[in-house]
Structure 1
Amino acid sequence: MDDNSNLTVLVIDPNPGMRGSLQNMLNMSNISKIEFAVSSGTAIRNLSRKAYDIILCEYDLDSGGENGQDGQQLLEDLRHHKLIGMGAIFIMLTSEGVYSKVVSAAELTPTDYILKPFTVDVLMQRITRAVDRRSVFLPTYKLIDQGSLREAIRSCVAAENAHPRYAADFVRLRAELHVSLNEFPEAEHLYTAMLGVKQVGWASLGLARTLFTQGRVEEAENVLTQLVSVNPKLMAAYDLLAKCHEANGSAARAQQVLEEAVSISPHMVRRLRHLGEVALGAGDVTAAEKSFKQVVTKAKYSEFRDPEDHVNLVKTLVQKGDATQASGVIRDLERSMRGNPNVDACKAISFAMLHEAAGNSAAAVAELNNAVGAVRASSGLSSKLRIGLAESCLAHKLDQGAAEVMLSVMNDAKSGVSTQQAMSVFVKAGRPDLADGMGAQLKAQAQILLGVAAEKANMGDIKGAVQSLLEAMHMSPGNLQVMIAVAKGILRQLSELGWDHPLAEVCQAQIAAIHKIDPAHPQLELINNEYNALKRKYGIAAA
């Protein structure tokens, strides 16, 4: 018998009889470190607290009752919020005979799924197979977890030769690592080479993603169109194909593709949300309403439910002219998501839309002011929602509120919104003066952060100093003084704490930008020489 005594298992099942049966099966296989969760909520709390080697999850977690999500929705949350790592083994247990649900579960790539009823031998065969596979990949996974992506690529190359059975899997992982390093031509070469040997869906999808990321949208669209015709169950291909149509300005075609995907796999919340957004943009209020209602319903029991889904539904109903139903959605938002830090902002924005539609400008202004105040106490509001709030404030001449909300976006390094994009909000509203004022504020904040970074560096907090410098760069990306400080700060961290590829790429980009702005800058040559010396020191130049 294999020594499974060190394996930790989380069983997620609402049925006490099935939990007992699984415990007996696992005990018979010398697995005793077992914990239980009776719903998705308790599972997420367990997984937030600790990691498990194996997760055995019942598909039917009674999503239609009071106990929460089904297994597919839970896996979606766990993947999206990174609560399970690459080495976690997730096995779905189901007697579900509905084809669409099986497809949904499969597209979220559980390690395996087992149809009930099953014997202890079947369970252990699947677990043994999964554990054996994980042991082969674990050295590479550890390098990835450490952020050593270059070393992880080398590990993949060695493992392809040492474990030919998993060679294709390591090629796939290696290509994904190149994508993580923004090395798209290298990833494209690997995907193309694989397709030259065998037509596999993941390689076509990976190729399309690299083409799309490089701006080669039409090429990506051609690859994806062919892919869905020969592999209509590869759902992620539909998502990317819809993005291609959006990039080409065809919201109607994007909507059509997403509707086809939803008809095949109707339980993916993020796809339904995307469909609602695309349909609303295309002017199809009926389709948008249907999608957003499904999102609100399906996400009802999620530990990560988002009050912005209610805002999207309210916006759709307001456009439809159904104020009564929109008011009901706001009441549901207050009742079902009490305690969420973003509820007040979402509620105020929703009420503002209702008052605006009713022609009550004074009440709309009052709610917009409430929303601006609520944003201060919020956490994780999307950039799209905050930008929309700023645009509404500008439309009602609430200049200070608009500026405050946009500054909150720019102060959020994870917003993905550039300074130029933020300024364009004011320019499009006919207020270039506010854009200039905001630019001055951002430059002043960047100067303060340079001082903070210098103080952290003096105290030996090198990583903290670099983080402050990156925040300054986000606020004032074209500032030569900031560029120099960022490059020098990163070089110090690379020298003292070891090579970090993402940071090195930022440094290289800053060096190129400095050269473009001022090729004769007195510090440029020194910075460039130090960067190249560090590459040689860590063997990066030869990689």
Structure 2
Amino acid sequence: MDKIPLPKAIDELKVLVVDNQALIHDLIKSALLELGVKQVSSAQNAFHAVRLCQKDTFDVVLLAFNVSSDKDGFHLFEELKHNNYIGDKSTVVFLSAETSMELVNCIIELQPDDFWVKPLDASRVQQRFNYLVNIRRKLHKVMHCMDNSDYAAAIYHAERGLKDEGVAEYHPRLKRMIGECLIHLRDYATAERYFSRLKEEYDHAWVHIGLAKTLFRQDKVDEAELLIEDLLQRNDTRFLTYDLLAQYYISKEQFDVAYEQVKAASKLAPRNIERNKKLWDLARLNRDKYGQLSAVQNMAKFARNSIHDSPELGLNVVRTMIDLAATVSGSESEKLLRQVTREIEGLTRGDFVEPALANKMLVIKARIESLKNNKRDAEKLLKENLQADAAMNLEDNLDLMKAYHELGMKEDCLAILDTLRAQLAGDTLASQVVDEYLKREEIERREIKFTTKELKEMAAVNYRENRIFPAYNNLCQAMILSPHDKSIALSLLKVLVQINKNEPLSDSQHEMAMNAADMLSNSSLPANQQQKCDEYLSALSLNEAAVHVTPE
């Protein structure tokens, strides 16, 4: 076993305090000096904190959640971790006067070592600081092994620590570490028995979550669900439980259920960019255009001034607005296009636009022209100005594929799908979701030549001209592309009523009617649309099968 380095003495520790209140700096520095800490540095904003971390390595970082206008503590913490200024051996404490559940959930996600609520008290600062330093000192062998992924050795040292009454205060911490190590070692059966025993001793959130995790990993879903019911009622476990459920259902490719869990988790802790990205991917997979837009808007909003901030986020908001505009019609589509114009002005403001961005904007402009039925101009834009050798990421290629599809350029569209699949690397949950999305896109792009908006317009014309079966086929394809569109579902029921007047519905037609009725039963409708819906359901004898819709 490698020799494990000894932890630093208290007078060797380097501490950084990041807060925009001078009184906080004075109180903490004074309290720590009394303990024997000799090196305490101060930063009153995120910029200054980063500069200090570039010059020195700190053992302890005390970080206010609301630092200043340049960057909040959440984003600063992410940046410090990203640049390795904070590592496994760092002790991080968050400071905040706010204790809302949303903030607490966001902080829990970052997994700091402690959370101190303002106003601070000098004696409390000393007590908690001593506790945290002693964890590093007395549990350093276990922590060193865990930091180096030597989980078997970590369990060995932790079990030895549990026999030492001198560290009895830290026994719960050691027991938690053993549970984490068993999960890392994938010994889920042993981990289940371990957490089950701990549950009799402790009511801590980590015990319940650890037990639920081991049950899911063994596919003991019935047992897990009994536990989950209670965990979703508790403030300290609800948020972590939604994340755990989402991870499980994604692994089982139950993407519709996973989507609901991620939505719930995002409401409780909206700042996490990776979760919003997962939410966006799942919304795409579930063809929820409004959900997609909400997710990318949250990403752009919460990424400002963070390491995640980039023009790509603004581009994705624009692209998603265009996706939505391609499914709706009339005033809603026009409103979205006006919003797109404003967003584009913000993205292209300035004298110089980078070539890579110019290529992406070209595709967006072609899609806008296509939406306005200026398809010849849109095709000309792409054929004459698109730089084929420009670097294109996955989202760029997705957007170009949609542009080709909207213009009816089928071969170009399908060729990009191969490029997209090559850009998916690894077996992460994100790539798994996007890969499934691309499979569906490929089926739809091969079989369906038109956009949702075009199919709806074609169905309306066919219905007026009494071409009922072509109208039905148009709406069936539109429903595949936009399964949550209430107007399509209503139109589909109306067309099926006409078909049913002449001959009984086939099995497939009856199934389409039931799907439309089921979707509408979970929707809110204006009074006039509800009346029409009831009439259609009555004509098709579906009243008892469908739940009554809720009026807006």
TM-score, shorter chain, exceeding 0.5: yes
Q: How far apart, in 2, do the equivalents of 1:415 and 1:245 lie?
A: 10
Q: Does residue 122 of structure 2 align to residue 120 of structure 1? A: yes
Q: How far apart, in 2, do the equivalents of 1:400 and 1:272 lie?
A: 29
Q: How far apart, in 2, do the equivalents of 1:51 and 1:255 lie?
A: 41
The answer on whether the counterparts of 2:92 and 2:112 sit within 8 Å (CA) in structure 1 is yes
Q: Does residue 379 of structure 2 align to residue 373 of structure 1? A: no
Q: Deviations over 1:506-531 (max 9, x none)?
A: xxxxxxxxxxxxxxxxxxxxxxxxxx
Structure 2 equivalent of residue 524 of structure 1: none
Q: CA deviation at 1:229?
A: 2.0
Structure 1 equivalent of residue 524 of structure 2: none
Structure 2 equivalent of residue 289 of structure 1: 293
Structure 2 equivalent of residue 229 of structure 1: 233
Pick closer, same or farther for the CA change 1:99–1:416 going to 2, 3 Å. closer
Structure 2 equivalent of residue 319 of structure 1: 323
**Matches for 1:21-100 after TM superposition, within 5 Å:** 21-44=27-50, 46-47=52-53, 51-62=57-68, 65=69, 67-68=70-71, 70-75=72-77, 84-96=86-98, 98=100, 100=102
Q: How far apart, in 2, do the equivalents of 1:369 and 1:352 lie?
A: 10
Q: CA deviation at 1:129?
A: 0.9
The answer on whether the counterparts of 1:390 and 1:406 sit within 8 Å (CA) in structure 2 is no
The answer on whether the counterparts of 2:16 and 2:41 sit within 8 Å (CA) in structure 1 is yes
- Percent pairwise identity: 20
Q: How far apart, in 2, do the equivalents of 1:233 and 1:365 lie?
A: 51
Structure 2 equivalent of residue 541 of structure 1: none
Secondary structure at the counterpart of residue 190 of structure 1: helix
Pick closer, same or farther for the CA change 1:223–1:342 going to 2, 3 Å. farther
**Matches for 1:240-279 after TM superposition, within 5 Å:** 240-244=244-248, 254-279=258-283
Q: How far apart, in 2, do the equivalents of 1:341 and 1:136 lie?
A: 56
Pick closer, same or farther for the CA change 1:387–1:416 going to 2, 3 Å. farther
**Matches for 1:338-349 after TM superposition, within 5 Å:** none
Farther-moved stretch of structure 1 (394-403 vs 151-160): 394-403
Q: Deviations over 1:396-425 (max 9, x none)?
A: 534776555544545x7989869xx69979
**Matches for 1:476-515 after TM superposition, within 5 Å:** none
Pick closer, same or farther for the CA change 1:151–1:127 going to 2, 3 Å. same
Structure 1 equivalent of residue 243 of structure 2: 239
Structure 2 equivalent of residue 101 of structure 1: 103
Aligned residues: 416
Q: How far apart, in 2, do the equivalents of 1:342 and 1:44 lie?
A: 30
Q: Does residue 140 of structure 2 align to residue 154 of structure 1? A: no
Pick closer, same or farther for the CA change 1:365–1:112 going to 2, 3 Å. same
Farther-moved stretch of structure 1 (178-187 vs 127-136): 178-187
The amino acid across from 2:156 in the alignment is R
Q: CA deviation at 1:112?
A: 2.0
The amino acid across from 1:151 in the alignment is A
Q: How far apart, in 1, do the equivalents of 2:16 and 2:384 lie?
A: 45
The amino acid across from 2:11 in the alignment is S
Q: Does residue 306 of structure 2 align to residue 302 of structure 1? A: yes
Q: CA deviation at 1:41?
A: 4.8
Farther-moved stretch of structure 1 (346-355 vs 281-290): 346-355
Pick closer, same or farther for the CA change 1:211–1:333 going to 2, 3 Å. farther
Q: How far apart, in 1, do the equivalents of 2:304 and 2:58 lie?
A: 26
Q: CA deviation at 1:110?
A: 2.5
Q: Deviations over 1:474-515 (max 9, x none)?
A: xxxxxxxxxxxxxxxxxxxxxxxxxxxxxxxxxxxxxxxxxx
Q: Does residue 136 of structure 2 align to residue 131 of structure 1? A: no
Q: Deviations over 1:156-191 (max 9, x none)?
A: 332233344333322322332333344433433433
Structure 2 equivalent of residue 174 of structure 1: 178
Alignment partner of 2:379 out of 352, 359, 362: 362
Q: Does residue 12 of structure 2 align to residue 6 of structure 1? A: yes
Normalization by structure 1: what TM-score?
Answer: 0.62
Q: How far apart, in 2, do the equivalents of 1:329 and 1:38 lie?
A: 34
Q: How far apart, in 2, do the equivalents of 1:319 and 1:195 lie?
A: 48
Pick closer, same or farther for the CA change 1:269–1:426 going to 2, 3 Å. closer
Structure 2 equivalent of residue 525 of structure 1: none
Pick closer, same or farther for the CA change 1:368–1:216 going to 2, 3 Å. farther
Q: How far apart, in 2, do the equivalents of 1:316 and 1:20 lie?
A: 49
The amino acid across from 1:203 in the alignment is V
Pick closer, same or farther for the CA change 1:137–1:372 going to 2, 3 Å. farther
Q: How far apart, in 2, do the equivalents of 1:357 and 1:113 lie?
A: 51
Structure 2 equivalent of residue 476 of structure 1: none
Higher Rg: 2
Pick closer, same or farther for the CA change 1:339–1:5 going to 2, 3 Å. farther
The answer on whether the counterparts of 1:315 and 1:353 sit within 8 Å (CA) in structure 2 is no
Q: How far apart, in 1, do the equivalents of 2:17 and 2:277 lie?
A: 30
Q: Does residue 113 of structure 2 align to residue 111 of structure 1? A: yes
The amino acid across from 1:326 in the alignment is V
Farther-moved stretch of structure 1 (93-102 vs 355-364): 355-364
Pick closer, same or farther for the CA change 1:214–1:356 going to 2, 3 Å. farther
Q: Deviations over 1:443-465 (max 9, x none)?
A: xxxxxxxxxxxxxxxxxxxxxxx
Q: Deviations over 1:10-61 (max 9, x none)?
A: 2212345544554444444433323333433554565566542111111212
The amino acid across from 1:154 in the alignment is Y
The amino acid across from 1:237 in the alignment is T
The amino acid across from 2:14 in the alignment is T
Pick closer, same or farther for the CA change 1:55–1:368 going to 2, 3 Å. farther
Secondary structure at the counterpart of residue 56 of structure 1: strand
The amino acid across from 1:191 in the alignment is F
The amino acid across from 1:128 in the alignment is N
Q: How far apart, in 1, do the equivalents of 2:369 and 2:316 lie?
A: 16
Q: CA deviation at 1:228?
A: 1.3
Secondary structure at the counterpart of residue 289 of structure 1: helix
Farther-moved stretch of structure 1 (143-152 vs 36-45): 36-45
The answer on whether the counterparts of 2:231 and 2:237 sit within 8 Å (CA) in structure 1 is no
Q: How far apart, in 2, do the equivalents of 1:317 and 1:91 lie?
A: 40
The answer on whether the counterparts of 1:201 and 1:234 sit within 8 Å (CA) in structure 2 is no
Secondary structure at the counterpart of residue 206 of structure 2: helix
Pick closer, same or farther for the CA change 1:401–1:234 going to 2, 3 Å. closer
Q: Deviations over 1:189-214 (max 9, x none)?
A: 43333234444321222233344445
The answer on whether the counterparts of 1:393 and 1:401 sit within 8 Å (CA) in structure 2 is no
Q: CA deviation at 1:136?
A: 2.2
Q: How far apart, in 1, do the equivalents of 2:156 and 2:277 lie?
A: 39
Q: How far apart, in 2, do the equivalents of 1:93 and 1:46 lie?
A: 19
Consecutive unaligned residues of structure 2, counting only runs of 5 or more, are: 1-7, 326-335, 447-552
**Matches for 1:403-482 after TM superposition, within 5 Å:** 403=418, 406-409=421-424
Q: How far apart, in 1, do the equivalents of 2:223 and 2:369 lie?
A: 46
